Each structure stands twice: as structure tokens, then as C-alpha cells.
Amino acid sequence: MVGTALEVLTDGPRDGPHHGDSLRSTIGWSVDLLTAQQRLAFAACGTFIGGFTLPALEAVTLHESARSLLIALVEHSMVQAAEGPESRWRLLEPVREFAEELLNSLPEAGVFRERHALYYLALAEQARRCEEHLESFWFSRLAADDANLNLALQWLVETERAQQALRLVRALGPYWGHDATQKHHNWLCRIVDMPGADGEPDLLADGLRDLGLTCRNLHRFAQARQVLGRAGDLYRQLGNAAGEADVLLLLASVSSGREITIRLLNCSSESSVSLRT
């Protein structure tokens, strides 16, 4: 069974050194034509999924000539223009896989991935500061980089950067909105109990409050009361009256939601009994 696109064979050109070779060899032959700096920039492209912008590539490489390197990669047909709210670039999936493999073989891999995560953390926080309920430009901007934002969050969690992960989840809340409650909930469940999550109590309190909100929306009322209790305790210790008030309002809505759910269940049960009789 074919594992990745790189394992697919291609006929290739009828002449040249890569005739009849695998797609991997064809891409490798093209990469060998790059300069050392161009190869490093190509490897940096392996940190992205779904495309990237020039500022993102500059942030990952920290190279003063990132624009020139990108132009060279386009001229070598390694990178292509992509659609988006601003100028974007992408690699075909087999080429991206090769770039990622090349990246994994380099000592710069960890540094590049950290820069990738921090860039998208900064982008999400910038969007949140611009408008709590995202305007169309910022929503489109984040939507274009949805895969990169998720990849950044995954890296922060896997490397146990709890506080940065809490910041990113908080920043993405308005973008995710109600439609992504389950996704928001799953990430928060993983992050709030990570080692070091309590390093910044105000961040953790916000995370627990937001987790309580997603629990309520998912009708997980017992879990909602538990995490909101933790959030309220933290806000109280911090002297954050506004945070405490938010928690109390959420607790009230949790109790109301539970009562409504119980009534609906009772009504449903009574209706079933009456229908049977």
C-alpha cells in the first residue's frame, strides 16, 4: 500500500538524470539544484500546512533575504502561489512532505517549529486584540491559516508549553465561536491540567472559565460546575471581581440549563408513557 504521495512512482521526463525514478527522487534532484540557503528555506517551508505568507516564512527563518529565497523557490517550481486574503504560497503535498523530511534531518528543526508556533500565537492574539468578535478580514486571515494554527497548538501541547497553549486557545476562542464548541472543549481539557498550567493563575482562570462555558454548551453540567468552581477560586485569590461575576453568571446558567434539561426529559418520558397507553 502506498503510504504517502512521495512513494508514488512517476514516468517523469523521457530524458534527464531522473527518468523513471520515483517522485521522491525527482524532488530530491530539484532540491540538489538549490543553494545551501535556498535548501534551508525550503526545509523551513516544511513547518507549514496549507500554505503560508512571506511574513510567516520570515518569522520562521529569521533570514534577512527571505523574500529573495522565496522567489528562488518559486523559480525552481518548488513553491506556488496560493489563494487567500493576502499573498500566500504553498507547496504541493508531495513537495511539502519532502520539505518536512528534510527539516526533520536538520538541527534547526526544533527552532523552526518553535518560531512557527510563536508566530501563529502572535497572529491569533493580534486578531483577538483587533476585535473580540472578529471582523471579516481577520476571520478570513485566521481561516486561511487554520491548519497552521492547529499545528502550532498541537506543538505547544506536545512540548508542554502550557501557558503559551492557554494563550493560544484563549485567542482562538472568538474565531472558533459556538460552532467549534467540541473542538474548543477538547483542547481545554488537555491543557488546563498540563504541568505548568498554573504558572500564570489569571491565564488558567480564564481557561477554566472557558472550559466551563464549553461544558455548559455541551450539557455536561457536573463537569461545568467543577471547573467553574476552580475558576471562581482562582479569580477570588487574584482579586478579580469581574472574573468572579462571569463565573457566577455561568453557574446560574448551568443550573438553569440542567433544570430545563431535566424538565424536557420528564416531559419526553411522560409523552412516551401516554402514547403507550
pLDDT, residue 116, reads: 98
Tens-digit pLDDT string for the chain (277 aa): 334 555 543 444 444 444 435 788 889 999 999 999 999 999 999 999 999 999 999 999 999 999 999 999 999 999 999 988 889 999 999 999 999 999 999 999 999 999 999 999 999 999 988 865 567 888 889 999 999 999 999 999 999 999 999 999 999 998 998 677 899 999 999 999 999 999 999 999 999 999 999 999 999 999 999 999 999 999 999 999 999 999 999 999 998 866 554 444 344 444 443 445 5
pLDDT, residue 65, reads: 95
pLDDT, residue 259, reads: 58
The Cβ of residue 242 has, within 10 Å, a number of other Cβ atoms equal to: 8
Cα separation values, 166 from 71, 110, 170, 264, Å: 36, 21, 6, 36
The Cβ of residue 152 has, within 10 Å, a number of other Cβ atoms equal to: 26
Please, how many CA atoms are within 13 Å of residue 45, restricted to the half-sphere of its CB?
A: 32
Compute the distance between CA of residue 241 and CA of residue 84 in angstroms, rounded to an integer: 42
The Cβ of residue 100 has, within 10 Å, a number of other Cβ atoms equal to: 17
pLDDT, residue 21, reads: 58
**pTM of the entire predicted model:** 0.84
**β-sheet bridge partners, residue 82:** 88
**β-sheet bridge partners, residue 56:** none
Please tell me the total number of residues recorded for the chain in this structure.
277
Taking alpha carbons only, the member of 7, 28, 9, 8 closest to residue 17 is 28
The Cβ of residue 66 has, within 10 Å, a number of other Cβ atoms equal to: 20
